[in-house]
Amino acid sequence: MIKKLTTLLGAGALALSASLSTARAQDTVKVGVLHDLSGTMAISETSLRDILLFTFDEINAKGGVLGKKIVPVIEDPGSDWPTFAEKAKLLLEQEKVAVTFGCWTSVSRKSCLPVFEKDNGLLFYPVQYEGEEESPNVCYTAEAVNQQAIPAVDYYLAQGKKKFYLLGTDYVYPQTTNLVLLEYLRSKGVPLDNIGGGFKKDGSGKIISAGKYTPFGHKDYQQIIAEIKDFAASGDACVISTLNGDTNPPFFKEYAAAGLTADTCPVVSYSIAEDEFRSLPAKDLVGQLGCWTYFQSINTPANKKFLADFQAWLKTTTADGVVKEGRVVDSPMVLSYDGVYLWKACVEKAGSFDVDAVRAAWKSGVSFDGPGGKVTTQPNMHLTKTVYIGETKADGQFKILKTFPDVYGEPHLKGTFKAKE
């Protein structure tokens, strides 16, 4: 009898434990975080992991999403592009995440895109990119070409620049962006001789690549800087840079050593923001341009509160690997933050975590008043948002020079600009 009672009690305890586990699972929702925390892109992406953790904690403190607390599942592809597909499959098929926030480079996004499309997952992508893509399984909170690259070129044209040197890291984002910029510059009357970096043509003579490219992790920019210095000797040149990751410090070190400055040959960098300046000689880069949909220097109550809340979180978080000192915020971080809140708004509008229902809510139009201003979802899976052009200061922040409100994200620009003869 005692043995039977013990067996019954044991079974009851197991049942209670299983019941509690089920209840806890019902009270939570898993979300994926797919960012490089090691390798060449960790310089940029670790901060995106941090801002996501902050955002999840902020939302959880207010009751979560549809009453469920967010539980992040973090995967580090290690800056190895094929690994993104493996990690995406793990998140979707094993962890059963409701949504994934991740990727920086376009090659990483394109690596895992087939997985998201096959499994009908949803990826929120927060970093400026080349366009020419519109997947129903990606929410592009990122800047499209017309929300970053083109406004910066327009600004330089208005400043009287006549020569444009195209430089980038050798992968799809710089290559495609520069082909769009080549068409755009030609449509503005800039002759081919005034577009530096070189061209590659196919057998018919059509230009299939424009600009100078270096691999990820490249360190030696001496020869390229010498070429830029010659190109800029006329005094009316600028550099359009799509260098990514840890190639930026050696480029700007060589740039400064050659005596180039923002006065002699300014650079607009599409992958350098406040966070990257933590590892760059900011004092040597005063006057260079950035073009983003957020700058930390935006002087609004919403941004001030966001910055204060993030700093307060840094002091108290126990999350592994979070650097707490000297932290700043930049556009990809804010677009990650905005993305989580837009996903939350879409889920609540749909009344469901179901991907098809969330996508339908996105396409119907949802807005969020973020640190950089109001962002609104579009039927083409992109965002309408404000674009800012800023000039770097010695403290690594940006002085805002020009603002373009409510810019509609247009991913399909290639082939739309006609050259002026």
Q: Give the DSSP letter of residue 199.
A: E
Taking the C-alpha atoms of residue 167 and residue 239, their distance in angstroms, rounded to an integer, is: 7
Task: List, for residues 389-410, the tens digit of each pLDDT value.
Answer: 999 999 999 999 999 999 999 9
To 10 degrees, the CA torsion angle through 85, 383, 398, 49? -30
Structural domains in the chain?
Answer: 29-143+298-386 (3.40.50.2300), 146-297+388-408 (3.40.50.2300)
* Residue 119: C-alpha distances to residues 72, 115, 281 (Å): 19, 6, 44
Q: Tell me, what's the pLDDT at 1?
A: 53
Radius of gyration from C-alpha coordinates of the chain: 23
Q: Tell me, what's the pLDDT at 421?
A: 62
**Residue in the structure block whose two tokens are 């520069």:** 178
Taking the C-alpha atoms of residue 89 and residue 102, their distance in angstroms, rounded to an integer, is: 13
Q: Tell me, what's the pLDDT at 44?
A: 87
Closest CA to 216 of 250, 170, 177: 170
CA 201 to chain centre: 31
Burial degree of 89 (CB within 10 A; 0-12, 13-18, 19+):
middle
Q: Tell me, what's the pLDDT at 15?
A: 47
Q: Tell me, what's the pLDDT at 279?
A: 77
Taking the C-alpha atoms of residue 345 and residue 66, their distance in angstroms, rounded to an integer, is: 10
Taking the C-alpha atoms of residue 361 and residue 66, their distance in angstroms, rounded to an integer, is: 15
Tokens at residue 11, please? 């079974």
Task: List, for residues 192-234, the tens digit of each pLDDT value.
Answer: 999 999 999 999 999 999 999 999 999 999 999 999 999 999 9
Taking the C-alpha atoms of residue 197 and residue 210, their distance in angstroms, rounded to an integer, is: 7
Q: Tell me, what's the pLDDT at 119?
A: 98
Positions in the chain short of pLDDT 70: 1-25, 421
**Residue in the structure block whose two tokens are 């990483």:** 108
Tokens at residue 237, please? 């040149």
Tokens at residue 134, please? 């519109």
Q: Tell me, what's the pLDDT at 403?
A: 96
CA 79 to chain centre: 15
